[in-house]
Amino acid sequence: MTVVKKRVKALPSSQRGKKRYILFELLAEKPLSAAIVEKEIERKFFELFGSRGMASQKLHFIGFYGEKNLGVLKCSLEKCEECKAGLIFMKGIAGMAVVPRIVKVSGSAKKLKEIVK
């Protein structure tokens, strides 16, 4: 007798909810690494909103381009303003002072990647 594992079906895209991609820039003296930026963003958002707030934001770190200090975050449409506010509260990363700036908010990651290049 063979055991067959059943997979949980993924939700159709129509039921997943709308998302937004936030392109941000961290003005700093030196280029920053993606791992450090991701860890600091998660720490700051957890400090500001808690685990329940982060879960409702559906926050996902897409990437960070260290040579330009540009990064992309994905969040839910309803909590986009909260995510932008959370980014603005970033004051320092790895002992270095940073000034965050929201460059653009888009519904498509492809458009933001064109801006970064």
pTM of the model: 0.84
Q: How much is the pLDDT for 47? A: 93
Does 41 score more than 80 pLDDT? yes
Tokens standing for 78?
């309803």
Q: How much is the pLDDT for 2? A: 75
CA 62 to chain centre: 6
| Dihedral, CA of residue 62, residue 52, residue 41 and residue 92, to nearest 10 | 160
- pLDDT by residue (tens digit) across 46-92? 999 999 999 999 999 998 988 888 999 999 999 999 999 999 998 88
% of the chain beyond a pLDDT of 90:
61
Domains and CATH numbers, the chain: 18-109 (3.30.70.3250)
Q: Which of 1-5, 63-67, 82-86, 112-116 has the lowest mean pLDDT?
A: 1-5
Report the pLDDT averaged over residues 91-116: 90
Tokens standing for 15?
């039921």
Angle at which helix 80-88 crosses helix 34-57, to 10 degrees, equals: 140
- Rg (alpha carbons) of the chain, rounded to whole number: 17
